Structure 1
Amino acid sequence: MSNINLIIEERPASIGSFMVGRLLPFREKRMVGPFAFIDHMGPVCLSDSENVDVPPHPHIGLSTLTYLFEGSIMHRDSMGNEVEIKPGQVNWMTAGKGIVHSERTPGYLRNSDKMLHGLQIWVALPKELEEMEPEFFHVEEAGMPEWTEQGVHFKLIAGEVFGRKSAVPVYSPLYFIELKSTGRQSVKIGEHLFGESALYILDGGIEAEGNTFSPKQLLVAKDSKLCAFDMLENTTIYIFGGEPLPEERIIYWNFVATTPERIEEAKTMWLEQTFPPVPGETEFVPLPLQNKNIKPQHPN
């Protein structure tokens, strides 16, 4: 019997400045554990006249995790944080009751050619923490445990698993792991995983149950305890998951909540610009269609 419950192909989505590959949410799988949203950015080459410029926009009810493979993004938020994220580092921003942030190409790169490649992830907060005070943490690569087993290099980017713990301060039981292999290797790690689990192929490929899977595919497991596969040469994959949250989450634009009333409240707050501002920023991303009563769009 196959342990692969669902295969999700990256789908193109626009975030304004450029196209990304959307992985979650998906019609048949809204979340994997507490992971509610994953975008694969790039790889994209931006010319000396092209820059990432995502003006201030709000979030509630989630933590965002930004992890870059190439390039650089300047993060500014309504708590006054101004931090450049570079490859191998993690920006972990917890919105809680509400935060506003912008994401832009740093000033020193704006007039030169540059690459951008990475993952942007949303993790839903447990219901009892939805209205917590906002927080922001920037975690250097040294805060993420790394080790090698049987020719596979592991990095625990977030969460706790394999008896190791990342410095990224998560709020529910989860894991986000990078695996890299230069040669063909068999991997059997199901005994370490828990909850719901999925595997994303960035480079190379894997073989599982007699089938070969390629980059830009997300494989959702039926049972994380049965996670076993072969990594092909020069392969990089990401395994993520954890304990699912008991309540259904509503996702509308940049808002995640357990009740529609909280979503409506956040929409009104953004329309009336009563969220805290980002110091030094005057632009903002308008609420879609500028209509607080529009219905959320279901992802493809």
Structure 2
Amino acid sequence: MPAVTVEDLTVLPRLARPGLGDQPRPVWQVTNAPSGYEGEGFPVRRAFAGIDLSHLDPFIMMDQMGEVNYAPGEPKGTPWHPHRGFETVTYIIDGTFDHQDSHGGGGTITNGDTQWMTAGAGILHIEAPPEWLVQKGGLFHGIQLWVNLPRDAKLEAPRYQDLRSGTVALATTYDAGALVRVIAGSVDGHQGPGSTHTPMALVHATVEPGARLELPWEVEYNALGYVLNGSGTVGADDRPVRTGQATLFGPGDYLTYAADPVQDGRAVTLDVIIVGGRPIREPIAWAGPFVMNTKDEVLTAYEDYQRGRFGHIPV
């Protein structure tokens, strides 16, 4: 995984060890992510399927895109499609994605980059591999997280944050056994580059074989973890987890993952995505690409989309 690696973890700032009074977050639920296809046919795992929306709040869903090694001519993306009422966070671990939208925006994200798109009042966009990647083929792997917007921000003007891999905050555990990449929010004082409407944190952690990650976590946030790659255990009671499994944590001061000493198959390390935020606690009406507060607002979104109010596809 080329998404920001560090050869010598001992040079990084250390996360604080849990204190005497700190409580580990209990494991409330472990789920298996079902596989499917998105867009024009690229494989995804629905990371948080099976977890109640009330526990996901402020998040809506997350897809693991790939991991897939495309042959020449196979890479796929999405057709033009609309969004309103939430934010999409696209983090590319391996490979390259191009983006274009109905407001004239666009760009390329690649190994370790993140595109944070606030759809707000409405936008049309397309995500696809560049032509050279389609012709050549290659490895593709990433995630897309949907973050809800509070009622008073759902109709804001669309905007972007282009978060380059070099801006991600890096830290390690007290024994330098894990690399912690903070993409958004603050973790034990380490501030990621992403700016969020709702207070939250997004982390990609790589845990070395046999090592243990004890990650300080904001008490008022919920906490969810998802194994991208590898096998190990989660929680203070060392519950087994593996690739494609999500964990819902209960309240506490820190959360725990440990990597198996020997990894199976292609895995070299245990890689996990960890997200959490302050719940918005507002009604959710969700239909396809629109996440609003009421059914009437969703119907209005469909009408506005059909009437061309989200902008127009560039020629």
TM-score (norm 1): 0.86
- AA aligned opposite 1:262: E
Contact 1:33–1:174 (8 Å) recurs in 2: no
1:264 maps to which residue?
299
Aligned to 1:184, what secondary structure does the other structure show?
A: coil
1:131-210 alignment runs, 5 A limit: 131-149=155-173, 150=175, 151-190=177-216, 192-207=218-233, 208=235, 209-210=237-238
Aligned-residue Cα RMSD (Å) equals 2.0
Aligned to 1:133, what secondary structure does the other structure show?
A: coil
Picking from 238, 249, 252, the partner of 1:221 is 249
Picking from 27, 41, 66, the partner of 1:42 is 66
Contact 1:57–1:100 (8 Å) recurs in 2: yes
Q: CA deviation at 1:2?
A: 8.6
Picking from 20, 32, 47, the partner of 1:9 is 32
Contact 1:52–1:103 (8 Å) recurs in 2: no
Structure 2 CA distance for partners of 1:99 and 1:191, relative to 1, 3 Å: closer
Picking from 247, 264, 274, the partner of 2:282 is 247
1:76-155 alignment runs, 5 A limit: 76-149=100-173, 150=175, 151-155=177-181
The CA distance in 2 between the partners of 1:268 and 1:191, in whole Å, is: 41
Cα deviation 1:132-160 (Å, max 9, x = unaligned): 11001211112210122222111101122
The reply on whether 1:230 has 2:258 as its aligned counterpart is yes
The CA distance in 2 between the partners of 1:271 and 1:278, in whole Å, is: 13
1:33 maps to which residue?
57
The CA distance in 1 between the partners of 2:180 and 2:115, in whole Å, is: 20
Structure 2 CA distance for partners of 1:12 and 1:107, relative to 1, 3 Å: same
The CA distance in 2 between the partners of 1:31 and 1:76, in whole Å, is: 33
2:7 maps to which residue?
none
- Structure 1 unpaired stretches of 5+: 281-300
Contact 1:74–1:104 (8 Å) recurs in 2: yes
Contact 1:155–1:179 (8 Å) recurs in 2: yes
The CA distance in 1 between the partners of 2:256 and 2:59, in whole Å, is: 21
- AA aligned opposite 1:277: H
Q: CA deviation at 1:161?
A: 2.5
Contact 1:25–1:31 (8 Å) recurs in 2: no
Q: CA deviation at 1:197?
A: 0.4
Aligned to 1:52, what secondary structure does the other structure show?
A: coil
Q: CA deviation at 1:44?
A: 1.6
- % identical aligned pairs: 24
The CA distance in 1 between the partners of 2:313 and 2:186, in whole Å, is: 32
Paired residue total: 280
Aligned to 1:49, what secondary structure does the other structure show?
A: coil
Of 254-263 and 28-37, more deviation after overlay is shown by: 28-37
Of 202-211 and 263-272, more deviation after overlay is shown by: 202-211
Contact 1:200–1:238 (8 Å) recurs in 2: yes
